[in-house]
């Protein structure tokens, strides 16, 4: 158990850096989902199951799904505006 928490902290730092350093929006969303999963595992290891469940529900599923829907909507809006101009 003593090695688990530092390893999860390192994974959280690496996945957070992956979110910040990613340039493509879809990769950022996937990195955010991975970061949420790592953080929920960290919260479980720190014996905070309610916070871990909230992070799993929001940070791993709801927020990345919302961002993917917004990206698809923006892409559809751009394609429909492009066809209106012609």
CA-based nearest residue to 57, from 41, 85, 36 = 36
Tokens of 68: 């993917």
pLDDT of 1 over the 70 cut: no
Q: Please give the residue range of the domain that contains residue 19.
A: 4-85
User: Rounded to the nearest 10 degrees, what angle do helices 4-21 and 25-45 cross at?
Assistant: 160
Q: What is the pLDDT of residue 55?
A: 95
Query: pLDDT digit string (tens) for 8-61?
Result: 999 999 999 999 999 999 999 999 999 999 999 999 999 999 999 999 999 999
CB atoms within 10 A of CB 84: 7
**What does pTM read for this prediction?**
0.83
Q: What is the pLDDT of residue 84?
A: 59
Evaluate whether 63 touches 36 at the Cβ level (below 8 Å).
yes
Looking at the structure of the chain, the number of domains it has is: 1
């Amino acid at each position: 158990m003593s090695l688990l928490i530092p390893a999860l902290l390192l994974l959280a730092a690496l996945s957070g850096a992956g979110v910040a350093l990613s340039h493509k929006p879809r990769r950022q969303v996937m990195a955010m989902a991975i970061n949420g999963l790592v953080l929920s595992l960290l919260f479980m290891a720190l014996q905070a199951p309610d916070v871990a469940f909230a992070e799993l529900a929001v940070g791993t599923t709801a927020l990345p799904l919302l961002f993917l829907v917004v990206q698809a909507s923006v892409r559809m809006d751009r394609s429909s505006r492009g066809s209106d101009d012609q």
